[in-house]
Amino acid sequence: MKYIILSALLASAAIAAPAPARANKGGNANGGNNANANQAGAGAAQGAAGNTGAAAGASGATGTAGAQGATGQTGQTGQTGQTGTTQPAAGTPGTVTPGTSSAVPPPPGGATGQTPSAGDLATAVANWQADTSMVSMFLNNGNSINDDTAFKQAALVAFNAEVDELTHKAVIDAANGQMPNVQAANSTLATGGAFQDVVDKLQIMSQQGKAAANNIDLINQNRCTNVLPNIDAYMASTGSNSQAVRPNVCDQTGVKGGVQSNGPTQPGQTPVRSLIHHYVR
C-alpha cells in the first residue's frame, strides 16, 4: 500500500514540474529573435554604409567628370601647335628654299601687281640701303667675334638682311625693269649669280660658325666688285643719289688695294660670272 501511494506522489510531482524541453525551446526562440534583431541591425548598418558608399561613388563620379573636363582643356591648348603651319612653304617669294639656300624673289610690284609709286620706290631704296648696312656691319666685325654661338647669330642676322634685299629689288624691278641699266645690273646680280653667292656663304657661316669664317674675305671680293656697284645702279634708276653701304675693305668699285671692277654692269656687257668663279668659288 505504501508503494502504491509513493508511486502516485512521484507521478504527481512529475506532472507538476515544468518541462525543461519547453524552456529550452522558449530560450531558443528568444535567442532566434535576438539573432534576428542583431542581423536586422547589422543589415541597417550595412545599408547605411551602402548609402555612404553610393554617395562617395557619386562624388567619385563627379571627380572623374572633372578630370575629363581638364583633359578637354588640354586638348584645346594643343591647338596652339597650329602656329607651326603658318611658316612659309618652300619656294614662297621673299624666302630661301630650305636645303638649297636659293633665294626666291617676291613677285614684281607686290601682291597686287600694281606699278610702284614714287613713294614705294623711295621706301625700297631706303630699306635696301639699310639691309646692305647690316650685312656690311657683320663683314666688318665678324672676324673679331670669338664666341662661336655669337658668330653664328651675327651671321644669321646678316643672312636674313641679305635675303630681305630681294623684297626691295623686286619693287624697283616692277617699276624700272625695262630700263637697260637695270637689266644690265640684274644680269650680274641674278643671272650671273653674284647675289646668290653672298646668300650661300652667309648661310654657311650661320650654320658652321667660326670654322667657315674665311667666307668673309670671299664675300668681300665678290660683293665689293660685283654686287654693291650694281645695287647702286638699281637705286640710281629711281632718281635717288643713295648707294649701298660698303664694308671697310671696299671702295666704290672693288676691294681697297685689291681686285677692282669697272663699276655697274653696262648694257651689252657680259655678266661677270667668270669673275665670280675666279675670285669667290
Task: Say if pTM beats, i.e. exceeds, 0.75.
Answer: no
pLDDT at site 271: 84
Q: Please report the pLDDT score of residue 147 as a whole number.
A: 98
Q: Which three cell numbers stand for residue 4?
A: 502504491
pLDDT of residue 190: 96
Amino acid at 187: S
Given a contact cutoff of 8 angstroms between Cβ atoms, the answer to whether 201 and 276 are in contact is no
User: Long-range contacts made by residues 243-247, C-beta under 8 angstroms, separation at least 24?
Assistant: 243/129, 244/128, 244/129, 244/132, 245/129, 245/132, 245/133, 245/136, 246/136, 247/136, 247/137, 247/139, 247/140, 247/220, 247/223
Mean pLDDT of successive 10-residue stretches along the chain, which has 281 residues: 43 44 40 40 39 37 35 36 36 43 48 82 98 98 98 98 98 97 97 96 98 98 97 98 98 96 94 51 37
All structural domains of the chain, each given as residue ranges with its CATH number in brackets, are: 104-279 (1.20.1420)
pLDDT for the residue numbered 270: 87
Q: How far apart are CA 119 and CA 250, in angstroms?
A: 30
Residue 94 Cα distances to 88, 91, 139, 163, 165, angstroms: 10, 9, 23, 7, 9
What are the strands, taking DSSP E only, across the chain? 96-97, 102-103
C-alpha to C-alpha distance for 204 and 121, rounded to whole angstroms: 32
The helix (H) or strand (E) run that includes residue 129 is helix 118-141
Helix (H/G/I), strand (E/B), else coil: 43? helix
Q: What is the dihedral of CA 148, 149, 155, 160, to 10 degrees?
A: 170
